[in-house]
Amino acid sequence: MSGRNIMTDQMSGKNPTGNEQIEPATDDSTEYDFYFGPAHSGSGNFGVKLKLDGERVISARADPGYLHRGFEKLMEYRTPIQNAVISDRLCVLEPLNWNLVHAEAVDELTGIEVPERARYIRVLMAELSRLQSHIIWYGVMSLGLGFDTGFRLAFGYRDYILDIFELITGGRCYPAGYICDGGVRRDLPEGYAERIKNVLDKIKGFMENIKSFDNLFFANRTKGIGVLKLEDAIRLGATGPVLRASGMKTDVRKDDPYEIYSELDFDVPTEKQGDANARCTVRDREMEESIKIIKQVLDRIPEGKTRKPSRIKRPSRTKIPEGEVYVRNEIARGEACIYMRSVGESAPYRVKVRGPDFLHMIPVLEHLLKGCELADVPAIYWSLNICPADMDR
Amino acid sequence: MSMVKTLWVLVEGLFSKPMTIKFPHEAIEIPDAYRGEHKFDIDRCASCGFCAEICPNKAIEMVKLPEQYTQKYKKTYPRIDLRKCCFCALCQDICVKKCLKMTKNVFLATPDPASLIKDPMPKVQGEE
Amino acid sequence: MAEIPQQRKENKLIEQISSKFEIEGTVQRDRRVWVTTSKDNLIALCRFAKRLGFHHLSAISVTDWPQEKIFELTYHLWSYSARILLTVKTKIDRADPKIDSAIPIFQENAQIHERELHELFGVQFEGNSDLTPLFLEDWDGPPPFRKDFNWRDYVRQKYYDRSNEREKPYWE
Peptide bond preceding B31 in cis form (omega within 30 of 0): no
| DSSP character at residue A364 | I
Looking at residue A111, its pLDDT comes to: 85
Nearest CA in chain B to A185: B93
Alpha carbon A145 to chain centroid, angstroms: 21
Residue whose C-alpha is closest to residue A84's, from A184, A165, A170: A184
CB contact under 8 A, A326 and C76: yes
Does any CB of chain A come closer than 8 Å to the CB of residue C142?
Answer: no
Is a pLDDT exceeding 80 seen at residue A381? yes
CB contact under 8 A, A392 and C135: yes
pLDDT tens for B59-106 read 888 888 888 877 878 888 888 888 888 888 888 888 888 888 888 888
Does any CB of chain C come closer than 8 Å to the CB of residue A146?
Answer: no
Mean pLDDT value of segment C40-59 = 86
Which site among A168, A313, A314 would you substitute to test the B interface, given the most B Cβ atoms closer than 10 Å to its Cβ?
Answer: A314
Residue whose C-alpha is closest to residue A143's, from A44, A41, A45, A213: A41
The model's confidence at residue B1, banded by pLDDT at 50, 70 and 90, is: low
Residue A230 CB neighbours (<10 A): 15
Chain C residue numbers with beta carbons less than 8 Å from the beta carbon of A73 are 144-145, 151
Question: A20, A59 in Cβ contact below 8 A?
Answer: no
Select the more confidently predicted residue: A4 or C44. Answer: C44
Looking at residue C1, its pLDDT comes to: 42
Q: C63: phi > 0 → left, psi -120 to 50 → alpha, else beta; which?
A: beta
Phi, psi of B102 (to 5 degrees): -95, 130
Residue whose C-alpha is closest to residue A152's, from B20, B17, B11, B25: B20
Is a pLDDT exceeding 60 seen at residue A9? no
CB contact under 8 A, B2 and A168: no
Mean pLDDT value of segment B26-44 = 85
Looking at residue C122, its pLDDT comes to: 85
Question: What is the dihedral sign for C-alpha A203, A198, A95, C114?
Answer: negative
C-alpha A103/C-alpha A83 separation (Å) is: 9
The model's confidence at residue C4, banded by pLDDT at 50, 70 and 90, is: low
Looking at residue A231, its pLDDT comes to: 85
Looking at residue A12, its pLDDT comes to: 42
Q: Which domains does chain B have, with CATH numbers?
A: 41-119 (3.30.70.3270)
CB contact under 8 A, A237 and C85: no
Question: A362, A125 in Cβ contact below 8 A?
Answer: no
Q: A225: phi > 0 → left, psi -120 to 50 → alpha, else beta; which?
A: beta
Phi, psi of A342 (to 5 degrees): -125, 145
Question: B90, A81 in Cβ contact below 8 A?
Answer: yes
Looking at residue A271, its pLDDT comes to: 85
| DSSP character at residue A361 | I
The model's confidence at residue C58, banded by pLDDT at 50, 70 and 90, is: confident
Looking at residue A28, its pLDDT comes to: 63
CB contact under 8 A, B93 and A212: no
C-alpha C146/C-alpha C150 separation (Å) is: 9
Is a pLDDT exceeding 70 seen at residue A8? no
Looking at residue A14, its pLDDT comes to: 44
For chain B, give the mean pLDDT.
82
Does any CB of chain C come closer than 8 Å to the CB of residue A234?
Answer: yes
The model's confidence at residue C5, banded by pLDDT at 50, 70 and 90, is: low
- For the whole model, what pTM was predicted? 0.85
Least confident of B34-43, B89-98, C24-33, C45-54: C24-33
Looking at residue C50, its pLDDT comes to: 86
Question: C97, C90 in Cβ contact below 8 A?
Answer: no
Question: C85, A256 in Cβ contact below 8 A?
Answer: yes
Select from A156, A216, A315 the Cβ nearest to the Cβ of B19.
A156
User: For chain A, what is the radius of gyration of the CA atoms?
Assistant: 22
Q: Which domains does chain C have, with CATH numbers?
A: 3-133 (3.30.460.80), 140-172 (no CATH)
Nearest CA in chain C to A360: C109
Is a pLDDT exceeding 70 seen at residue A101? yes
C-alpha A268/C-alpha A146 separation (Å) is: 30
For chain A, give the mean pLDDT.
83
Mean pLDDT value of segment C32-47 = 86
Chain C residue numbers with beta carbons less than 8 Å from the beta carbon of A11 are 108, 130
Residue C168 CB neighbours (<10 A): 12
CB contact under 8 A, A166 and B35: no
Phi, psi of A101 (to 5 degrees): -60, -45
CA distances from A24 to A6, A30, A32, A33 (A): 30, 12, 10, 12
Percentage with pLDDT > 90 across chain A: 1
Is a pLDDT exceeding 80 seen at residue C141? no
CB contact under 8 A, A171 and B34: yes
Contacts of B126 (CB under 8 A, 6+ apart): none
CB contact under 8 A, A235 and C107: yes
C-alpha A295/C-alpha A193 separation (Å) is: 9
C-alpha A53/C-alpha C25 separation (Å) is: 52
Does any CB of chain A come closer than 8 Å to the CB of residue C135?
Answer: yes
Question: A91, A386 in Cβ contact below 8 A?
Answer: no
C-alpha A331/C-alpha C72 separation (Å) is: 28
The model's confidence at residue A26, banded by pLDDT at 50, 70 and 90, is: low
Question: What is A71-178+189-387's CATH number?
Answer: 1.10.645.10
Strand locations in chain A (E): 31-36, 47-53, 56-63, 179-180, 183-184, 323-331, 334-342, 350-354
Looking at residue B123, its pLDDT comes to: 61
Peptide bond preceding A309 in cis form (omega within 30 of 0): yes
Nearest CA in chain B to A215: B2
3-state secondary structure of A345: coil
Chain A residue numbers with beta carbons less than 8 Å from the beta carbon of B10 are 149
**In chain A, which among 348-377 make CB contacts under 8 A with chain C?**
349-350, 352, 354, 358-359, 362-363, 367
- A260, HSE (Cβ side, Cα atoms, 13 Å): 24
Nearest CA in chain B to A312: B94
Residue A163 CB neighbours (<10 A): 17
Phi, psi of C29 (to 5 degrees): -165, -170
Nearest CA in chain A to C126: A3
Question: What is the dihedral sign for C-alpha B102, B107, B108, B112?
Answer: negative
Q: Sheet harboring A350-354: ordered strands across?
A: A323-331, A334-342, A350-354
Is a pLDDT exceeding 60 seen at residue A17? no
Chain A residue numbers with beta carbons less than 8 Å from the beta carbon of B102 are 170
The model's confidence at residue A11, banded by pLDDT at 50, 70 and 90, is: very low
Pairing of strands C32-36, C85-93: parallel
State the nearest Cα–Cα gap between B56 and chain A, in angstroms. 5
Which residues, in sequence order, are bridge partners of residue A49?
Answer: A35, A61
- A155, HSE (Cβ side, Cα atoms, 13 Å): 11
SS3 percent helix, strand, coil of chain C, rounded to 5, is 35, 25, 40
